[in-house]
Amino acid sequence: MTISAHAVPEWFTQRRYGMFVHMNIATVPAFAPVHEYADWYRAFWEPGMSDVILHPPVPLPEVLAFHQETYPEVRDFDDFIPGLTLDRWDADGVARLAVDAGMRYMVPVTKHHDGFCWWDTDLTSRSSVRQGPRRDVIGELADAARAHDLVFGLYHSLLDWGHPDHPDRERYVDAYLRPQIADLVARYQPQLLWGDGHWGHDGGWWRADRIVEDYYAAMDAAGLEGCVNDRFNASHADYAVYEYDVPEAMPDGAWELCRGLSYSFCFNRAERDDDHLSAPELVAMLTEVVAKGGNLLLNVGPKADGSIPEIQSRVLREAGAWVNANEAAIHGSRPFTVWGDGLTRYTVGADETVFAIDLTNATERIFPALTGVAAVDGAVEWVERDDGLHVRAEPGAAESLARVYRIRPRGESVGAVVRRSLEIADGTVAAAITGASAGDVVVVPAGTHRVTGLRVPEGVTVQGEPGATLDGGGQSVLELTAGCRLVGVTLTGGAAGYMMIPPTCVTTSGDGIEVRDCTLQSLQLGGGRGHAIVGNEIDGGNLWAFGCNEITIRSNRQHGLRWGVGLDLIGGTGHVIEDNDVSDDLCGIRLTGATDSRVSGNRLRTRWWGVHLRASTGCESSDNQVSRTMRAQCVEGGAENTIASNTARRCDSSVLVEQGARDTVLRDNRADDCRVDTLMWEST
């Protein structure tokens, strides 16, 4: 079937900030290694769960060890259900917290991947009405949300680890999943239907188009504006979802960022207060999301007694005081011509005024993007000069978290000064590169040059003057061949990537390739030996090498792949990876199936792994510094690897050796404020 035409509801773009509410059976054990999702406890503890992706190999040794120590009597996951007492649950209090936080919509979990249902469904006894707290939690939240003028939505997982017929299309999808969603829609009339757990099968399997079309029809019949996210795998979605990290570039179309206040959605007892966003960090994130045209769906994770952890409510209210005081800059706003930068955000209000949000709280600021200004509310003095709008605020009138200036236009609207580098489109740079011979140096002048899928001849050096940029226009930029050198050039506009897939920017073939002092999104090394990757800024992508030998990767700064590996080497021998700064990835540095290679002196702050040696032999990780990462050092399988003199700061574990790793040497590693020092699991 084909989904009928549907537009993004106006309410979704007017209400930019909402509350996610996550509870499931895993709320009782309430544990995951820090930086992991406590809501996935069943998959992390019980073997054989289906459709487990984007997580380390399961079961997790950390969870198995915790369970053996804390719950040795629990053999069946559903034995945790009586612990869901909700003795301190207050649906109206949750709605009031959302209002105090400055939120305008709410999306609670009706059923997470474990299959436990939070309403009075007739299709299973695994529900909060028939077991545990014995109350209709979704019904209570629906009433409370609407009493406080919060648009009400519902999350529902297509995946179900608890249903015996999952994922059979007839016995599960048609006889259980679709009727449950239809029941939820009929009972609670959610104006947002938030799908998840979709990755195991395509939309046809889930009957996704039928689910979405039936939902739209029900909303139309009720006279409500409904919308769906993109996690049904349906042929239509009203908006895209990003998880945990704000996209680097402003996405096209409507979008939403979902995340917890800490690293988990459900409550995690292993997390401490400083694992949570602070109020200034929350305001910075919210304003970046809104300035880039998105919504923020921020999660609270109640405890098994139903209470909201104090750190969560405190941060939400502290930030909420600012949000409610400056609601016109958030709700009902849209993006300006430029979104801002690390210190400033810009949004456009309903009356066409521009809000300049200063995260520094400085008394004097320059906003270089703005021109055509008639008045500045919030400034004692202001003047427009060639380098931008200069403002001075009252020294004693600083906002608690960020100053907000309301910029009124001189004409119809405030303009943006967009300073573009010279763009050379006559093809002279491309012609010079393709016409060069071995030993030639092609100097790229300052400015932006469109170069798409260009193969650089063997032995040619491409060297940039300051400000030289090669733009692929959405396609691969360069292919480097044997003996090529790329020096001092910025490369951008590569073929688009998504989540684990980096943008394609530079590819290689042949031996002895050097990339030095460049700024680029990604680099793929396909075979060859003796490559040198030195002193580069790898921004928003990664370095991926396969089938190579003797690569040197030194003194680079890599960040931003978010859901993948920063420096990812598959196979080969004799690699040296040293003195790199790596951040904002699931894994910082990974060697898979490599031999006799060294990882040393790197600085990493990533999510799940710092340095990961997987099925590798004779490799060494030494003198690395890893902070705020789940596993600072992880040896998974392989043999005769060495982990020595590394420092782990505020990680969950300093060293994990697992999955049958043999003869691993551990020496002089330091665990500073980590939950676990060293964990050996099923390894010798």
What integer pLDDT is reported at residue 423 of this predicted model?
A: 42
Closest CA to 403 of 430, 429, 382: 382
Residue ranges of the chain that CATH labels 3.20.20.80? 16-325
What integer pLDDT is reported at residue 40 of this predicted model?
A: 98
CA-to-CA dists, residue 99 to 260, 464, 561, 573, angstroms:
17, 53, 34, 57
What integer pLDDT is reported at residue 398 of this predicted model?
A: 58
The Cα–Cα gap between 241 and 233 comes to 12
Locate 659 and state its tokens: 């999955």
Give the DSSP H/E element, type plus range, for residue 432.
helix 428-434
Residue ranges of the chain that CATH labels 2.160.20.10? 423-680
As a CATH number, domain 334-416 is 2.60.40.1180
Q: Name the stretches of the chain with pLDDT < 50.
A: 417-426
Residue ranges of the chain that CATH labels 2.60.40.1180? 334-416
Helix axes 310-325, 279-291, angle to 10 degrees: 50
CA-to-CA dists, residue 351 to 328, 374, 415, 418, angstroms:
10, 14, 15, 23
- Give tens-digit pLDDT for 115-170: 999 999 999 999 999 999 999 999 999 999 999 999 999 999 999 999 999 999 99
pTM score above 0.85: yes
**506 in Cβ contact with 491 (< 8 Å):** yes
For domain 16-325, which CATH number applies: 3.20.20.80, 2.60.40.1730, 3.30.300.30, 3.55.10.10?
3.20.20.80
What integer pLDDT is reported at residue 336 of this predicted model?
A: 94
What integer pLDDT is reported at residue 399 of this predicted model?
A: 61
Closest CA to 233 of 262, 210, 260, 204: 204
What integer pLDDT is reported at residue 233 of this predicted model?
A: 95
Closest CA to 39 of 246, 258, 318, 281: 258
b/e burial code for range 512-530 (CB count within 10 A of at least 16 → b): bbbbbbbbbbbbbbebbbb
The Cα–Cα gap between 298 and 463 comes to 45
What integer pLDDT is reported at residue 604 of this predicted model?
A: 98
What integer pLDDT is reported at residue 412 of this predicted model?
A: 66
What integer pLDDT is reported at residue 22 of this predicted model?
A: 98
As a CATH number, domain 423-680 is 2.160.20.10
